């Protein structure tokens, strides 16, 4: 089960908010969204056995809301952190387009391209893949709630589908949305559902 964190001030302002800048907490609306997601997880009887989160504050808060309702501890996996956006941290898309047009075009064109001082999609894919494999080995046969960010979650979904890198630009994951993938002992995986927001009001 995959849960994106609730809103922060950066989410509302559509700013690049990764793991290389400040570490914003959930906004008031984000806290409410985390509570709504937690309620949905309990009501849905998904049989969650463990909760694992990105180390960043917005995810830890979202994960704790769910763990409290589920009666589970929260574990932290550094590999679930958001992309480090380098010089783009805290900027809006329009500001990045204005200040770094060539770098932005390269970032869209190639998963090997990175924001100045930041991580590429290839970098993120490598660490997310390692983290996924570690979690699958540690929790074989169990249902785990992963609380993370847009890029790591889209990457997990893309990998489950066997889709190309460009798929990350063709998915929408709203704040506090739920998605689910299933992983099988033969190494195959499938997408159960994507970007469910019916629990949000």
Q: Binding site: residue ranges?
A: 58
- Burial (CB count <10 Å: 0-12, 13-18, 19+), residue 185: exposed
Per the CB < 8 A criterion, the answer to whether 154 and 170 are in contact is no
In the sheet with 144-148, reading across from the earlier edge strand, the strands are 74-76, 50-53, 144-148, 2-4, 178-183, 189-196
| Residues annotated within a binding site for substrate | 58
Rounded CA-CA distance 19/102 in Å is 23
Q: Whole-angstrom Cα distance, residue 68 to residue 36?
A: 13
The residues annotated with a catalytic role in the active site are 5, 82
CA dist., res. 158 & res. 74, Å (int): 25
């Amino acid at each position: 089960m995959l849960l994106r964190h609730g809103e922060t001030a950066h989410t509302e302002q559509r700013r690049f908010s990764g793991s290389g800048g400040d570490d914003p907490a959930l906004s008031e609306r984000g806290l409410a969204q985390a509570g709504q997601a937690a309620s949905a997880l309990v009501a849905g009887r998904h049989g969650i056995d463990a909760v694992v989160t990105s180390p960043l504050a917005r995810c830890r808060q979202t994960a704790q809301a769910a763990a409290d309702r589920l009666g589970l501890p929260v574990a932290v996996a550094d590999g679930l952190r958001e992309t480090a956006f380098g010089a783009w941290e805290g900027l809006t898309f329009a500001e990045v387009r204005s200040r770094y047009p060539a770098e932005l075009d390269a970032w869209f064109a190639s998963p090997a391209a990175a924001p100045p001082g930041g991580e590429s999609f290839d970098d993120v894919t490598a660490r997310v893949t390692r983290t996924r494999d570690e979690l699958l080995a540690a929790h074989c046969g169990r249902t785990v709630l992963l609380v993370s960010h847009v890029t790591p979650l889209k990457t997990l979904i893309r990998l489950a589908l066997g889709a190309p890198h460009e798929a990350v630009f063709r998915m929408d994951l709203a704040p506090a949305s739920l998605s689910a993938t299933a992983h099988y002992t033969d190494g195959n995986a499938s997408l159960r559902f994507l970007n469910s927001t019916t629990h949000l009001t």
